[in-house]
Structure 1
């Protein structure tokens, strides 16, 4: 397998983008699925559009120089590699430099490396308004002046600002916001916005701010503003701002951040499905890596709670809590297969994506089908906890479960604890053989499995000795329960023989929270008395030894 120098390869790709010495080199790095985005584009592009943009860059005859190049490998496996880094881009003719950031996802197949996705962005370059022809700006950039007062009273604005927010004219906008610029700002951004203004007044530096403004239709758009402080004739502070709509760039950069997180998840495990939950929209997108399998659920939380959801009812609260950020992942859920009685077992883990104001906006989750793994673990657990012949709990596991139940039971609840063995069982083996003896033990075990309630516990201690713990019994009917069991065991038939099993039982019942050892001794003591009476009977007590 070839070993690739990703740092050197990435530098060559970036250098070719700006200089295009060898167009065939870039063609060799792209395929039809290659996608890309940069701040100079308003949408994600694919191979041909990317190459077209690179050719346009060449035709500008502007000289570019890369400097201070850095490359970091974020994730890597046999089929993919994710790198990111930064560099300074010098524009020689304009004596300017801009810091750029990049992310590239490579895919490797048959020792060939291709770009799956490339994304570049830059940090904002501070530019003095005094160095710019302000009259030119007035026709292409939104501008607004407002007082430094409680409501940031608007003093002046241009038509470009009015158009950006979707209003018909100045008067309509001013009437709507009551001349208060603060009424146009997203409520979650007001505090940080005012803090930036305060810092500017204290430092006397130019300011740059990023926040959301409300349009006439109620939608919010992201804007970047750059401005300066001026004083009016009465020496009152006025902010003179140039405002740019960067909503499409913000959305694309958010989408690319989400895409990067998805790729990192896939690099770690390409057998997972990815779930993208958009918090504000209550929308879930499932299987987003495979377009033909993509599913979109609006009002997702309502859907999960409805009967249409395939998630087990018992597991729905945990799933909802995960996506409402009340609990962290991972969680385990069960999901019905439609059309049959089988179900999947899935592990869901999550990662929260925040916007630049540190607000949670997306829960990105992975769903992995662990049914086979779970079943294998369950088989091992069954072997450790269960008697191999009857599949009842073994003594170690069963006694622990009884101890656990007694520790949390309702103080007023009565329980019954029965110890029994099969009468003359050695003679059964001697007369009919051990295989028949095993069948007797299996049949008796099945009788108690059919009889048990949810919280009842059945144990095979060994040989023909058993323990049965009954929860929620009526203390006045304990004798009746024992009699019912005695008769039920006698009525079990065994084909091709006239054999009918009988058992001897010792039963202890109580409401008290004794230890397993204490209640076993009490029941075992009265079992001995039942055997002394001639077997095929039971003895009951509520006295502890």
Structure 2
């Protein structure tokens, strides 16, 4: 057998496929020789020339619907010098869109010749095999019942699909007539079941109609939905509630389509789905959105969102204080780079802010931010936030609130300052100065070139008794100014009693400390009081050494030196030796 003839089974299959599936008559005809013959399955299909076959095929071109070919077998059963015989069998089944239902088994015989290096069909015979006939039959009945069996099988398949769908959804099926109440002609078992009823109980509760099943307050909206949907086409959907057997209400989605039955009567087939949980979630979300809206409307803080992956920072704030104005969002890309530039956040605070934004630090922090209006002062900002994680528990986003606490900080510092200061002179009070000095003595900053001075106004009682307490207060204020004028910011100046002051001088030589003491004595003598009364001071000085660790010891030494100054006639200083 030639190599070409071995391809004969493929040619036979190609012709059957072109005829039934592709409906390509021209493709079939080009493989027929001029003196071809053909016997078909029909009584009249006995043709003996190419033209007869051509005309017959074209005449029935649109009569035969498009089909599928399954279970096909084609094989060579005999061969000659330049020809062979191919036998085949297959199943022809009409496609679903063919408006015809048919499935038949066919047999075929092809005589194929090799003509000028080309395969052509010399003869073909197509037939429908009959099944076995009973003894009392004169014609096989199987072909007559085949379409019915196919329909039954197709119906069974569709029914199984519907049952699978209804068993896997929380709902049921119903069929309604197109009347005023949409009366039921069919209700499956699933619908009463999800409502807690038996079939008979459900039909009694609903009065046998879709209208009767709807919770009365929802009926007008449900009917309106149907009317609007049917005005546009055959499909509809509506959401409403149905009273369950236990008295609770179930939200359902009712969706379906109008269609004509075999008698030309309009029917409505529908699916009922339980959407109670979805509705509850929807209600919760609606309530949550309203809470969120109210919160946003009344919040004065700035909300923010930081996208870790893209390094985007978004602020949600009002450009004006008016709460009626909607929030605006301001996005900053490459936020970490902007932070590290030091243009918006204090350099000391950048690190901890980035740690919080990246989810590495879980605490409320306070940072300093440059005032966007003045550009030359810092605002204190409190940062509170939460981290959002993905399904693998990787941090992806940070959301939070920025609160301007500059005013609160200022008030707090003012309160702290008031608690630490003498109200008249604004110098440190005795308790604070003692704590500050003791803390310094215990620190590594403490050296052997520090000193504590105790200053006492000589005969201050005479000033109060002679000129009154107002004049005495002015003297106290004047002395405090002299002490501040002659010391440094790092020094600790305090009023520790009625007319007693202390100065703790840090890191100066003894000569400079003595010079400061003389300057204080000299400046005090220039204080003007009524009747040219002179103000003088007595000062005791105690220098620190390696053994100085306690404030009380240093104060005791300075106090003894002060006593010596008083004993030497006042208006002088003494150093503890």
Normalising by structure 1, what TM-score?
0.50
Cα distance, 1:406–1:437 mapped onto 2, change above 3 Å: same
Distance 1:517 1:55 in 2: 97
> 319, 323, 329: which is aligned to 2:363?
329
Distance 1:55 1:471 in 2: 94
> 535, 555, 558: which is aligned to 1:501?
535
Cα distance, 1:278–1:444 mapped onto 2, change above 3 Å: farther
Deviations 1:360-403, CA, capped at 9 Å, x for gaps: 12221212233444444444333332211112222122212222
Please report how far the alpha carbon of residue 537 of structure 1 lies from its aligned counterpart in structure 2 after TM superposition. 1.6
Distance 1:524 1:441 in 2: 20
Q: Secondary structure at the match of 1:480?
A: helix
Deviations 1:145-172, CA, capped at 9 Å, x for gaps: xxxxxxxxxxxxxxxxxxxxxxxxxxxx
Q: Secondary structure at the match of 1:505?
A: strand
In the alignment, does 2:477 pair up with 1:448? no
> 351, 368, 377: which is aligned to 2:403?
368
Contact residue 421 and residue 464 of structure 1 kept, 8 A? yes
Look up the match of 1:61. 236
Cα distance, 1:448–1:63 mapped onto 2, change above 3 Å: same
RMSD: 4.4
Distance 1:395 1:359 in 2: 54
Bigger Rg, which one: 2
Contact residue 479 and residue 540 of structure 1 kept, 8 A? no
Deviations 1:481-503, CA, capped at 9 Å, x for gaps: 3234333444x554887555332
Cα distance, 1:434–1:457 mapped onto 2, change above 3 Å: same
Distance 2:547 2:360 in 1: 38
Please report how far the alpha carbon of residue 94 of structure 1 lies from its aligned counterpart in structure 2 after TM superposition. 5.7
Look up the match of 1:220. none
Contact residue 407 and residue 513 of structure 1 kept, 8 A? no
Cα distance, 1:393–1:274 mapped onto 2, change above 3 Å: same
Distance 1:346 1:536 in 2: 52
Cα distance, 1:56–1:278 mapped onto 2, change above 3 Å: farther
Distance 2:385 2:230 in 1: 41
Look up the match of 2:559. 524
Q: Which runs of 5+ in 2 are unaligned?
A: 1-213, 245-249, 256-269, 319-324
Please report how far the alpha carbon of residue 406 of structure 1 lies from its aligned counterpart in structure 2 after TM superposition. 2.4
**Mean CA deviation greater in 339-348 or 521-530:** 339-348
Distance 2:336 2:549 in 1: 45
Q: Secondary structure at the match of 2:482?
A: helix
Look up the match of 1:123. none
Cα distance, 1:442–1:349 mapped onto 2, change above 3 Å: same
Q: Which runs of 5+ in 1 are unaligned?
A: 1-14, 27-53, 70-86, 107-114, 119-259
In the alignment, does 2:312 pair up with 1:283? yes
Contact residue 385 and residue 400 of structure 2 kept, 8 A? yes
Cα distance, 1:288–1:382 mapped onto 2, change above 3 Å: closer
Distance 1:503 1:407 in 2: 30
In the alignment, does 2:302 pair up with 1:273? yes
Look up the match of 2:432. 397
Distance 1:404 1:517 in 2: 12
Distance 2:381 2:531 in 1: 49
In the alignment, does 2:302 pair up with 1:301? no
Cα distance, 1:526–1:282 mapped onto 2, change above 3 Å: same
Contact residue 455 and residue 537 of structure 2 kept, 8 A? yes
Count how many residue pairs are aligned between Structure 1 and Structure 2: 329
Cα distance, 1:65–1:444 mapped onto 2, change above 3 Å: same
Contact residue 540 and residue 558 of structure 2 kept, 8 A? yes
Contact residue 275 and residue 284 of structure 1 kept, 8 A? yes
In the alignment, does 2:506 pair up with 1:471? yes
Q: Secondary structure at the match of 1:61?
A: strand
Q: Secondary structure at the match of 1:410?
A: coil
> 394, 403, 406: which is aligned to 2:441?
406
Q: Secondary structure at the match of 1:327?
A: coil
Distance 2:334 2:528 in 1: 58
Contact residue 91 and residue 97 of structure 1 kept, 8 A? no
Distance 2:530 2:494 in 1: 29
Please report how far the alpha carbon of residue 527 of structure 1 lies from its aligned counterpart in structure 2 after TM superposition. 1.0
Look up the match of 1:346. 381
> 335, 338, 353: which is aligned to 1:319?
353
Contact residue 505 and residue 513 of structure 2 kept, 8 A? no
Distance 2:421 2:341 in 1: 37
Please report how far the alpha carbon of residue 313 of structure 1 lies from its aligned counterpart in structure 2 after TM superposition. 4.6
Q: Secondary structure at the match of 2:480?
A: helix
Higher relative contact order (CA 8 A, sep 6+): 1
Distance 2:511 2:553 in 1: 22
Cα distance, 1:319–1:479 mapped onto 2, change above 3 Å: same
Distance 1:500 1:62 in 2: 103
Deviations 1:424-467, CA, capped at 9 Å, x for gaps: 21222234332222122112222333444444222211211011
Q: Matches of residues 14-25 of structure 1 in structure 2 within 5 Å?
A: 22=221
Cα distance, 1:493–1:366 mapped onto 2, change above 3 Å: same
Cα distance, 1:459–1:294 mapped onto 2, change above 3 Å: same
Q: Secondary structure at the match of 2:507?
A: coil
Q: Secondary structure at the match of 2:569?
A: coil
Deviations 1:222-255, CA, capped at 9 Å, x for gaps: xxxxxxxxxxxxxxxxxxxxxxxxxxxxxxxxxx
Look up the match of 1:421. 456
Distance 2:575 2:402 in 1: 53
Contact residue 458 and residue 535 of structure 2 kept, 8 A? yes
Contact residue 486 and residue 519 of structure 2 kept, 8 A? no
